[in-house]
Amino acid sequence: MPIFRLSDVKYSYLKRFTALDGVNLEIHAGESVVFLGANGCGKSTMLKLLNGLIFPASGEIRAFGEVLNEPLLEKNEFRRFFRSRVGFIFQHSDIQLFCPTVFEELAFGPLQLDLPEPEVRDRVEELLRMLGIEHLADRSPLHLSGGEKKRVAIASVLAMNPEVLLLDEPTNGLDPRTQRWLVDLVTELSRAGKTIITATHDLSMVDEIATRVVVISEDHRIAVEGAPQVILADLDLLLQANLISERPYAHAHLHYPWHRHEHSHGKTPAFHDHPHSELKSGQ
């Protein structure tokens, strides 16, 4: 049985602006699915629907076998079960952090799970160590840098040990080192058996974290889904979905007959030189 099953799901904001139009999809336990799409195609809406924060205008979402709707999530037992199983890391960490200190922020979820206080403290301390933020424990989340806030936001969700992690544009606004750290963490969590669902338009992380890629087109429908290697090799599709531009980094070509950048084929970062002609043909 899939964790999520979406059947002909439609959603529009303010009953006027279509965000998703007739989406059919299944997501199974242990998968790492990446929703790829341009700005405004409906990726974040998809995550909010999967998290039961908003509900489809028509169609049906089944989560853990049950039809996910407002009355069901108002039932105490199901809400407790669902919210502890599905964690959502929002794009803007600021809106997610509301406790006076980082320690309390991380303890918020486990305390709601009614875990004994010593266990909550152990859990929080382990997470602080794991994410390298022990020194922030007594700080207010308001005064942290963007990267630190992201780490705290992730830790606050992981503290509940969710089975499914929803990540909305996780690398947005992060420096390269924090991006690298995040990709490694997501890979590790995926290996630990978590179901990871990521919405992004950042292609650089896709082949590392995804077992399946779902491309959402600008007409708010699923354009195609498949293995990351297949999707990323289909340049026409990426162009059509507005995920790449026909003239990327044109400025570099003014100076060099080749284009140099970092790759991570085979998980090993390395520099490669691409002849200019190769770039023009879209490789």
Partner 1 sequence: MIPAWLKQANPEHRPHADAAQGGRKGFLEKTIQGSASFLEETVLTDSYAGRTGLLQLLEPRCKLIIILILIVAVSLCRSPWLVWGVYLLTLIFAAASRIEISFFLKRVWLFVPIFAMLIILPALFNVVTPGVPLWVVFRLHASHSFGPYHIPAEIAVTQEGVRSALLFVGRVAASVALAVLLTLTTSWHRLFMALRGLKVPALFVLTVAMAYRYIFLLVGIVTDMHMARKSRTLRYLSTGGEQRWVAGRIGYLFRKSFQMSQDVHDAMLSRGFNGEFTSLAIPKPGSFDYFCCALTLLLCCALLCVDRRIATW
* Binding residues for partner 1 (CB under 8 A): 14-16, 48, 51, 53, 64-67, 72, 74-81, 83-85, 87-88, 90, 92, 95-96, 98-100, 108-109, 112-113, 123, 126-127, 130, 142, 156-158, 160-163, 188-189, 192-193
Cβ closest to partner 1, residue 14 vs residue 250 = 14
Cβ neighbours of residue 212 closer than 8 Å, sequence gap 6 or more: 31, 32, 33, 34, 225, 226, 227, 228
Cβ closest to partner 1, residue 142 vs residue 233 = 142
Q: State whether residue 217 is helix, strand or coil.
A: coil
Cβ closest to partner 1, residue 80 vs residue 260 = 80
Cβ closest to partner 1, residue 37 vs residue 109 = 109
Q: Which two tokens stand for residue 201?
A: 């338009």
Q: How far is the CB of 123 from partner 1 (least distance, A)?
A: 7
Cβ neighbours of residue 54 closer than 8 Å, sequence gap 6 or more: 11, 45, 48
In what helix (H) or strand (E) does residue 62 lie, and over which residues does it extend? strand 58-63
Q: How far is the CB of 188 from partner 1 (least distance, A)?
A: 6
Q: How far is the CB of 229 from partner 1 (least distance, A)?
A: 27
> Is the C-alpha dihedral spanning 49, 54, 58, 61 positive or negative?
positive
- Parallel/antiparallel/unpaired status of strands 32-37 and 212-216: parallel
Cβ closest to partner 1, residue 76 vs residue 268 = 76
CB 147 within 8 A of CB 175: yes
CB 102 within 8 A of CB 137: yes
Q: Which two tokens stand for residue 278?
A: 């190769």
Q: How far is the CB of 254 from partner 1 (least distance, A)?
A: 29
What's the CA gap between 274 and 207, in Å, rounded?
20
Cβ closest to partner 1, residue 95 vs residue 250 = 95
Q: How far is the CB of 223 from partner 1 (least distance, A)?
A: 27
Cβ closest to partner 1, residue 5 vs residue 237 = 5
Q: How far is the CB of 136 from partner 1 (least distance, A)?
A: 18
What's the CA gap between 227 and 77, in Å, rounded?
37
Q: How far is the CB of 13 from partner 1 (least distance, A)?
A: 9
